[in-house]
Amino acid sequence: MISSRRARVSGGDRGDETRQRLIKAAIDVFGRFGYEGASTRALAEAAGANLAAIPYHFGGKEGLYLATASYIAERIAERVGPVAERVAGELTGEESGPADRDACLRLLQELLDRFAELVVLEEEAGQWARLVVREQMHPTRAFEILYDGIMKKVLRLLATLIGRLTGVAPDNEVTRLRALTLLGQVLMFRTAHAAALRQMGWDKIGPRELAAIQAVVRENVVAIAGASAGDGDKAGAAEVRR
Amino acid sequence: MISSRRARVSGGDRGDETRQRLIKAAIDVFGRFGYEGASTRALAEAAGANLAAIPYHFGGKEGLYLATASYIAERIAERVGPVAERVAGELTGEESGPADRDACLRLLQELLDRFAELVVLEEEAGQWARLVVREQMHPTRAFEILYDGIMKKVLRLLATLIGRLTGVAPDNEVTRLRALTLLGQVLMFRTAHAAALRQMGWDKIGPRELAAIQAVVRENVVAIAGASAGDGDKAGAAEVRR
DNA sequence: GTCTATAGTCGGATAGAC
DNA sequence: GTCTATCCGACTATAGAC
């Protein structure tokens, strides 16, 4: 389908700037209208670029879409990566004794705090999110880029931290489900954005609202991690008869 | 924009059946390709109907879209409504003494269980969800239909139950946020469907997987409701300095 | 109420001048 | 590397036969 006749990496010239403008505009336009709904004319106009620049630089509309997914994955990795790596570092740097429970809890809260900030604040995330969620529910090749780029790492870290806190193996089904439910608490404010605004009577989610969300999620994390602490042997109870 | 030249309600004739087929097909096609991406040709073909039937019965593509949103709201209300009304009934039928904490907890779990079943099982929900989430992140007139139709009621019930369980007013900011985070735990399995499948190593979410999700969410509800029980005076702690 | 045929518009991609 | 002009297919909606 794709015939990308250019695979430029080097940059700095005028063409490189055009590619950047097209990608930036594409995040918004693809997010708003979907892949099929976004016309190359709209994409080019939003970027202040020529229509023919899309087939020229990206081989076509699909190439621009995939390039946009890569860009998003890089931006997210840029923001979450440092925190994630620090968490990973602290995890391997210490033993899993009962003494580091508080440390794990803090790391978990920090990871979710950072993720909430990334996901929920208005800035750019609202544009990424529409594209990402679309890929979640109707995956194309772009989903591989997004998942491998960042989601996998975050989910694994969450499961590791929860495993430590609850004494259940990180690859246990219940542990992995707990990781997902924690993430879901944060993601909901993007994926059900309009409903959340109405429920809260907010007209947007700014720094104050973000802080309120983070506070509630932190409390929930404490409750969930605390309630199931040391139930390594009971974890099977949540497993379900087939 | 819309000029629906027909507003048929009575039914049973052949035209009514065509309208139904078009709406059913539209849930899938609009969900997959988005509003702009869904062509009237694709919509008509998927429904086994003639292209001209869309402007005829619904006044145009937009009319079909809004009719589809109404249909979805009705189907969801059909499924969640009975449980929600029973919950609402039991809530008004008793006093808010400490004795009914267990009852509130059961009702809350039942509501979320039912919602998980609705949201997460493959059957039809995957089709609705794409359309609904699109509206959440980029609302059009269809969002009003969906929100007023069902979401408002569910969110209010959740907040009421959580308020009872924690001793915090249902309209308190923290209580409403808690309601959203609970819902988010369930919704994530739809809105981040592809990532959830990979995280769990599942290839689909069937009855067994649904049961595992419900079990974890139930545990989380107990933990969250239990941990913040009777902190009516502390609720302000989660409020945030402006 | 449903169909075919068609009008009028817009879609993505390309050719070739600069 | 960027532009204009253009091809051709697909789009939504309508007209009018049945």
**Domain shared by A114 and A204, yes or no:** yes
Q: Quick check: is B151 in a domain?
A: yes
Type of residue at B66? L
State how far the Cα of A34 lies from the Cα of A48, in Å rounded to an integer.
Answer: 20
pLDDT at position B230 over 80:
no
Contact B106, B113 (CB under 8 A): no
SS3 label, residue A165: helix
CATH number at residue A197: 1.10.357.10
- For residue B60, the SS3 value is coil
Spatial distance from the CA of B12 to the C1' of D14 (Å): 27
By C-alpha distance, which of A230, A233, A193 is closest to A213?
A193
CB-based contact A33 B32, cutoff 8 Å: no
- The span from the first CA to the last CA of chain A, in angstroms, equals 42
Please say whether the beta carbons of A115 and A218 come within 8 A: no
Residue A150 sits in the same domain as residue A117: yes
Domains held by chain A: number: 2
- Residue of A205, A186, A47, A181 whose CA lies nearest to A126: A205
CA distances from B78 to A127, B72, B81, B149 (A): 33, 10, 5, 11
- Sign, CA torsion B74/B78/B82/B83: negative
Q: Answer yes or no: is A108 within a domain.
A: yes
Q: How confident is the model at residue B93 (pLDDT cuts 50, 70, 90)?
A: confident
Q: Which of B6, B34, B59 corresponds to the end of one domain?
A: B59
Q: Is residue B90 part of a domain?
A: yes
Q: Which residue has the higher pLDDT, A226 or B105?
A: B105
Tell me whether residue A9 is in a domain. Answer: no
Share of chain B above pLDDT 70, in %: 87
Protein B136 CA to nucleic acid C10 C1', in Å? 28
* pLDDT tens-digit series, residues A138-179: 999 999 999 998 899 999 999 999 999 999 999 999 999 999
The residue that leads in pLDDT, A228 or B149, is B149
A222 and A192 housed in the same domain: yes
pLDDT of residue B7: 41
| Alpha carbon distance A104, B222 (integer Å) | 22
Measuring from the CA of residue B36 to each C1', which nucleotide is nearest? D11
Q: Are residues A159 and A223 in the same domain?
A: yes
What's the pLDDT score for residue A34? 95
Asked if residue A166 belongs to a domain, the reply is: yes
DSSP labels, B173-222: HHHHHHHHHHHHHHHHHHHTHHHHHHHHT-SS--HHHHHHHHHHHHHHHH
Does A93 lie in the same domain as A181? yes
Contact (CB<8Å) A178/B220: yes
B25 and B93 both lie in a single domain = no
Count Cβ atoms within 10 A of the Cβ of residue B15 and give its class: 0-12 exposed, 13-18 middle, 19 or more buried: middle
Which helix (H) or strand (E) covers residue A185, if one does?
helix A173-191
Q: What amino acid is encoded at A118 in this protein?
A: L
Binary contact (A181, B220; C-beta < 8 A): yes
- Would you state the pLDDT for residue A226? 82
As a whole number of angstroms, the distance between CA A104 and CA B221 comes to 22
Asked whether residue A182 is domain-assigned, the answer is yes
Q: Are residues B39 and B132 in the same domain?
A: no
Per-residue pLDDT, B239: 42
If you average pLDDT over every residue of chain A, what do you get?
Answer: 88
Residue A95 predicted with pLDDT over 90: no
Find chain B residues with C-beta within 8 A of A130's C-beta. 137-138
Ramachandran quadrant class, B12 (left: phi over 0; alpha: psi -120 to 50; beta: rest): left
- Which of A106-120, B112-126, B166-180, B222-236 has the lowest average pLDDT? B222-236
Residues B192, B148 share a domain: yes
Residue B184 domain flag: yes
* pLDDT above 90: percentage of residues in chain A: 71
One domain for residues B166 and B55: no
Smallest CA–CA distance, residue B191 to chain A, in Å, is 6
CATH value at residue B54: 1.10.10.60
Q: Residue B41 belongs to what H/E stretch?
A: helix B40-47
| Cα A39 to Cα A61: distance, rounded to the nearest angstrom | 9
By C1' distance from the Cα of B53, the closest nucleotide is C2
The answer to whether the CB of B195 falls within 8 A of the CB of B110 is no
Nearest to B116 by CA among B184, B163, B164: B184
Same domain, B158 and B222: yes
Residues of B in contact with A36 (CB under 8 A): 33-34, 36-38
* Closest approach of B7 to chain A, Cα-based (Å): 28
* Average pLDDT taken over every residue of chain B: 87
Structural domain that includes position A207? 81-230
Q: Are residues A47 and A143 in the same domain?
A: no
Determine the Cα–Cα distance for residues B57 and A166; give it in Å rounded to an integer. Answer: 57
Name the band, by pLDDT with cuts 50, 70 and 90, for residue B224. Answer: very high
Q: What is the pLDDT of residue A3?
A: 39
Please, which pLDDT band fits residue A14 given cuts at 50, 70 and 90?
Answer: confident
Residue B111, pLDDT score: 93
Q: Is the separation of the CB atoms in B34 and B134 below 8 Å?
A: yes
Give the pLDDT confidence score for residue B237 in this predicted structure: 45
For the four alpha carbons of A143, A147, A149 and A151, in that order, the dihedral sign comes to positive
CB of A52 within 7 Å of some strand C atom:
yes
pLDDT at site A96: 52
- B93 and B40 in a single domain? The answer is no
Residue A37 has pLDDT above 90, yes or no: yes
A37/B32 CB distance under 8 A: no
A235 inside domain: no
For chain A, what percent of residues have pLDDT higher than 70?
87
For C3, nearest residue by CA–C1' is B50
Taking residues B125-150, report their average pLDDT.
Answer: 92
E-strand ranges in chain A read none
